[in-house]
Structure 1
């Protein structure tokens, strides 16, 4: 008969088993299955480059109160009457700036890829889907093909690439309802109107401009609230009204209606808004309406210190990309001022559209309250 092992003798399997039991005791509890909010989404981070705002300045929140309005001339870009157009350009390397849409877009993309290393290395690429919004005068599919030819292997997204037909504001509600898609959506929008096709058609004092805007969106997980980003957005709210030029100068041009609807949706009061991102245009009573809105609703928001206008920072470019750069500006302002930021789109004469970047904990608390009631 075989003798039993001596008292206290342990085999290698005993040691492994004990270690596994210890690891199981010390392991954190299993993460609940994700339950995504389909009404709103988190804005975890953003990367922005405008002609008068470098990525470092944007990250530091330097757009607040910034009045630098540098521009340049390009003899290749002229009006129908033969006058040179003023343009605002991103300083994207030493090569001469292209004036055709696709070559210039690729110059901007490659400049972004050279500059955004610190931002990109912070992303969990396995959990990301890259959403590419096409520049003006370039169709989505050709833009996707062009991007894939130069995209770096180190930043391959685990959920692939898509190129929507819609602009950001019309795409976002669809993306929220597709809650089985990637948990993180990296939206990349870049555009230039410093092109032969676009610069010559601008009227008045408006200048052709450029922008690179990257939004790191993260779905709000109601089952794992501690992992949610600090700030969130809802889909845009739009208000239709009579033409701005025919409204009274004492009117607010639809701004109060949009702000009230957004704040009600986010569980905030209008008075809690700390800053405003807007177009920066003065025509058709836009400046007067903005003054009136600040006076009526945001008396603590100073026009010089708490209002950011695109026109001085970047000039004119596609409205879909302006939506994205506006939200990127809002994130930097929200981080600097520790509060909600209103983003307004007033390019249309008869419509005012807006977003509110607010604290995500308010949204989660409201959702949980409604579920228990």
Structure 2
């Protein structure tokens, strides 16, 4: 039996309209407009390569408890008395290591680009801005020009490249306040002090070193919490104090007060901290102060198993880049131990700088400076 004409005849526009209605019913709710947190940022991932820590070891969290501290001599790097300098150097390919700043930096960058495919493949490059921090003795603009000459087309960021004038710790507060920037910031820092200009300045136990540190920062979207990174980071807190060498060996050297400030602002307790990353120096009572802090406030953190001294892994290089490598080490430790990690920068004699890297709600905002008599 034939259906009435009005029921049997449908135009193409009727079909299209019905499909649109069905698609609208099945479509997910519109995503709220992004509203970024200006006090903290997510540390989504990190990629590290240090002289005594390969990228695979770093990814596996093998820096914890690692005491391997190999070094080498370079006959081209000698003291005024003719003695060969000890250096810690990344084994980047078969070419002889350059000993000038820019050629060596380019060697390290090209080595990174050959090794980081798995890490780079996980990035949404359309949503990334690449932030290139200049190595020691190279100005930001010339470094950006040189890096772009070798940068592969496969990794072109949708939001372009920048080369800040500041170090990482001074750049981060500015980046947090700049809402117009990309949702993902890929910070790349590499440096070498195994150069003619730098290696001759070291005395005592310190050695010229180098590092490659990549931090994938993801803005925290307050309107879309489900997509945020698990581990959160905020600007550094700095604390001034008297010279370390003048403080008692039974003192904590200011790091206990700094740790309490970081924990208070995050709503955490020190008992929740699982590891500590520090520079690894022993002079001016640094080791004694660290011992005192661990023994009195973090008894579950064993010096051999839960403390990472990155000078042993990488030697000495620019402090701005060492901030980045320390935070990368902290992320790997946090993932491995499933807990918060304190990061202390104690290079200066009269100031200690620190971060607290923790999960989701854990964050530290602002900058504090205090002076102790």
How far apart, in 2, do the equivalents of 1:26 and 1:60 lie?
41
Which residue of structure 2 lines up, in the alignment, with residue 277 of structure 1? Answer: 277
Kindly indicate whether residue 51 of structure 2 is the aligned counterpart of residue 51 of structure 1: yes
> Residues 240-259 of structure 1 correspond to what in structure 2 (within 5 A)?
240-259=240-259
Which residue of structure 1 lines up, in the alignment, with residue 356 of structure 2? Answer: 356
Secondary structure at 2:326 match in 1: helix
Offset at residue 7 of structure 1 (A) = 2.3
TM-score (norm 1): 0.95
Flag structure 2 segments of 5+ consecutive residues without an equivalent: 366-373
Offset at residue 13 of structure 1 (A) = 2.8
Kindly indicate whether residue 239 of structure 2 is the aligned counterpart of residue 236 of structure 1: no
> Residues 1-373 of structure 1 correspond to what in structure 2 (within 5 A)?
5=5, 7-362=7-362
Flag structure 1 segments of 5+ consecutive residues without an equivalent: 367-373
Q: Deviation digits for residues 243-285 of structure 1, max 9, x if unmatched?
A: 1111000001110121111112222112211000001111110
Offset at residue 303 of structure 1 (A) = 0.4
Secondary structure at 1:361 match in 2: coil
Q: Deviation digits for residues 37-68 of structure 1, max 9, x if unmatched?
A: 10111100100000000001000000000111
Secondary structure at 2:136 match in 1: coil
How far apart, in 2, do the equivalents of 1:303 and 1:142 lie?
41
How far apart, in 1, do the equivalents of 2:206 and 2:230 lie?
36
Which residue of structure 1 lines up, in the alignment, with residue 369 of structure 2? Answer: none
Offset at residue 238 of structure 1 (A) = 0.6
Q: Deviation digits for residues 343-362 of structure 1, max 9, x if unmatched?
A: 11000001100111011234
User: What is the total number of aligned residue pairs between the two structures?
Assistant: 362
Q: Deviation digits for residues 146-179 of structure 1, max 9, x if unmatched?
A: 0111111111111111111110001101111112
- Pairwise CA RMSD: 1.4
Which residue of structure 2 lines up, in the alignment, with residue 369 of structure 1? Answer: none
Q: Deviation digits for residues 182-231 of structure 1, max 9, x if unmatched?
A: 11111000000000111111111111101000000011111111111000
TM-score (norm 2): 0.95
How far apart, in 2, do the equivalents of 1:58 and 1:278 lie?
16
Contact (CA 8 Å) 2:185, 2:216: kept in 1 or not? Answer: yes
Secondary structure at 2:9 match in 1: coil
Contact (CA 8 Å) 2:356, 2:363: kept in 1 or not? Answer: no
Contact (CA 8 Å) 2:85, 2:200: kept in 1 or not? Answer: yes
How far apart, in 2, do the equivalents of 1:316 and 1:146 lie?
24
Contact (CA 8 Å) 2:233, 2:363: kept in 1 or not? Answer: no
Secondary structure at 2:329 match in 1: helix
Which residue of structure 1 lines up, in the alignment, with residue 368 of structure 2? Answer: none
How far apart, in 1, do the equivalents of 2:283 and 2:361 lie?
38
Secondary structure at 2:8 match in 1: coil
How far apart, in 2, do the equivalents of 1:260 and 1:315 lie?
29
